[in-house]
Amino acid sequence: MKETFPLGRIAGIRVGAHWSVLVIVSLVTLTLARGLLPAAHPGHSAGAYWGLGLAASVMFMAGLLAHEAAHAAVARRNGVEVEGITLWMLGGVARLSSEARTPGAELRIAGAGPLTSGVLGGLVAALALWLDGLPVSALAIDALGWVAAMNLLLAAFNAFPATPFDGGRLLHAFLWWRTGDRLRATATTAAAGRAFGWLLALLGFLGVMLGAGLSGLWLVLIGWLLVTAATAEGQQAKLRSVLMGVAVRQVMTPDPITAPASSSVEDLRKGSPFGRFHHSVLPVTDNAGTALGLVSARQIDRVPLQDRPRTTLRDIMCPLAETITVSFDEPAGDLLPRLQTSRDRHALVLDPASGKLVGIVAPSDIRRAVTWLSAATGGGTAAPDGEGRRQRGRRSEDDRNYTTPR
């Protein structure tokens, strides 16, 4: 899930929001201000209903952010780098740049989110009960009660043992520890996620047929998203098993064409040998050839024609700090999920000794490698012997993004 606008940083971790957050905030506010609160406490002003509805929806999104921040904080303590947190319509995503190294680490990372939501729900409920004994408006207390209930529901819902829920990660950690086979654990939790998604979609469809209306359609949407996410996670685990033992240097495009940061957009447009480009992005470098970031065709297209002669690539590029960078000796399989969740879906390959740019990797490069490896092995996941299959299963991994569905 790509962020649309930044919200700042928490403990150095970039936090952003997808545009769909505005949709869920609006829907929650509308539901509370026009439905739940007036029905429970008639006679208040419209401003009171709308104000408390908006405050409750913002508090709930803050709870989602705390849930994802807990995943991120525990991941860091267990040696897993965190690329950022993104909130969206159906929850949040903590993007982890690498995988948990042990079942215990995965257990701790996965369990941090539901535990945080449960504690928050309990604290807000306790606050509502305390305020109930004071001369405080029952309308405000009910709004707090709704926030508490949603956090507790979030904790319970995410504890379900199926991908992509946190409970699925917990089950994955247990199966990995019990069997020593990470790929088998991923296949099991992905199958459980698909089954649960289809069940929700079926219940939603039946609800629509019986007159449930919007609530039934909501279940269908959530079910479909769960099926899609679980299927993608299972497929990605298989891809990473195919790529086991393959280094980034074997899949990258070496010595990519670059452009100086001081060049104007107009200069690039006039002088670029587009026929030699292998990707839709271009590494941007300084005069010494050191990589500074990436610029994409999309970013160039957004610059108005009249501004192109005086707009430099430095002005519009995605800086290196926000670009995926890897060493050429890193495993290619570990790079795949990072590419799929990044803004530009490309990674710059740097020499670990000198820091110089030596290549660029896109999802198409990895797909090409997987195609050749699959052809060479007659299917891709087969190993020369049983032990090879077991070792490959242990070391393969699914996408380590921790997603919090609503």
- The half-sphere exposure of 24 on its side-chain side, counting CA atoms within 13 A, is 22
Give the C-alpha separation, 234 to 184, whole Å: 10
CB 216 within 8 A of CB 207: yes
Nearest to 113 by CA among 80, 149, 159, 47: 159
User: Which of 385, 384, 338, 381 is CA-nearest to residue 362?
Assistant: 338
Of the residues 3, 68, 106, 233, only one is catalytic, namely: 68
The answer to whether 152 and 366 have CB atoms below 8 angstroms apart is no
Helix axes 138-158 and 46-77, enclosed angle (nearest 10): 30
Measured CA to CA, the distance from residue 20 to residue 228 in angstroms comes to 18
Q: Which of 234, 168, 241 is nearest to 395 (CA)?
A: 241
Strands 357-361 and 253-254: antiparallel
Helix 363-377 vs helix 332-341: crossing angle, to nearest 10? 140
The question of whether 68 is a catalytic residue gets the answer: yes
Cα radius of gyration rounded to whole Å, the chain = 24
DSSP per-residue codes, 56-119: HHHHHHHHHHHHHHHHHHHHHHTT--EEEEEEETTEEEEEESS--SSHHHHHHHHHHHHHHHHH
Catalytic annotation, residues: 68
